[in-house]
Copies of this chain bind each other. A is one copy, B any other.
């Protein structure tokens, strides 16, 4: 018997959904600690996140909910437990370091199972926190060969989410499909957008006045998957491109950590190529 859970439902909208779902909780004498719903007007999809307390058996609750919901509904009864994450990084330490410190601080409701990198630059930092570090060099091999080695390592690790903390390699559709819906990435964002090498240099040349960061799920079919969180900071003409890069690092680490916290608290639904963040 369990005593609390997060219940996550998404399904096509139908009359009486809130009534039917809350009836299940009511009949079982469960408390609703908090509850949020949203119906996406564009595709008529219903999303609900409810925190319940009281005595219940998870499997049977999930089945009862499924029975009253439209066909094809996603129903998850998530019991309280720390999530497990792995982090992929390359050479830059700002995003990784911020997660390590939050983890050491007990702020993150998740355990870092491993850090995997295509360089050994960050090994010393990661080992300071007694976290396993795997260096998988990509030297003298093609993308597929390298990814196969990374997948081999990751297969031996039990994890809920993979965080790309400035992992500077392009992932193949094959890699992404192995970890579908589990990969969170951070990238710089600019108005206007700059594509290609050294975007900070391009942004500098263009004289932008703000620099942003976007955290998103990684998907196959698009360069950028559903956006989880975004933010910006102001810059000005006295910032050279290295100053802009430094400012960009600050906003990147804050946005990535914010997105990670939302995801591990089961607050993010994906709806096509966008997110509902409760």
Binding site for B on A (CB under 8 A): 15-20, 22-23, 25-26, 29, 31-42, 93-94, 97-98, 100-102, 104-105, 107, 125, 128-129, 189-193, 204-210, 212, 214, 224, 226-232, 234, 236-238, 240, 246, 249-250, 254, 257-258, 271, 273-277
Contact of A101 among B29, B94, B240 (CB under 8 A): B94
In the complex where A39-B34, A214-B191 touch, is A237 in contact with B275 (Cβ < 8 A)?
yes
Establish whether residues A39 and B33, one from each chain, have CB atoms under 8 Å apart when the complex forms.
Answer: yes
**Do residues A274 and B33 form an inter-chain contact, with CB atoms below 8 A?**
no
User: 10 other contacts beyond A19-B22, A207-B273, A208-B230, with CB at 8 A cut-off?
Assistant: A15-B26, A15-B29, A19-B25, A42-B205, A93-B104, A97-B101, A191-B232, A205-B274, A232-B232, A236-B277
Query: Given the complex of chains A and B, what is the CA–CA distance between A39 and B34 in angstroms?
Result: 7
Bound together, the chains give a CA A153 to CA B30 distance in angstroms of: 54
* Smallest Cβ-Cβ distance to A39: which chain B residue: B34
Which partner residue on chain B sits nearest A41 by CB separation?
B240
Q: Which residue of B lies closest to A213 (CB)?
A: B191
A interface: dominant SS: mixed
Closest 5 CB pairs of A and B: A207-B274, A97-B101, A19-B22, A189-B191, A19-B26
Query: Which residues on B sit within 8 Å (CB–CB) of A29?
Result: 15
Set of chain B residues within 8 Å of A204, measured between Cβ atoms: 42
Q: List 19 A-B contacts (CB under 8 A).
A: A15-B26, A19-B22, A19-B25, A94-B101, A94-B102, A97-B102, A97-B104, A98-B98, A100-B101, A128-B128, A191-B193, A191-B212, A191-B214, A205-B273, A207-B226, A237-B276, A250-B257, A250-B258, A254-B254
Instruction: Please name the residue on chain B nearest to A241 by beta carbon.
Output: B42
A16 CB contact (under 8 Å) in B26, B34, B189, B190: B26
- Whether A101 contacts B98 by the Cβ 8 Å rule is yes
Contact of A227 among B129, B208, B227, B230 (CB under 8 A): B208
Residue of B nearest to A214 (CB): B191
Question: CA A34 – CA B13 in complex, angstroms?
Answer: 11
Residue from B19, B93, B214, B246 in contact with A19 in the complex, judged by beta carbons closer than 8 Å: B19
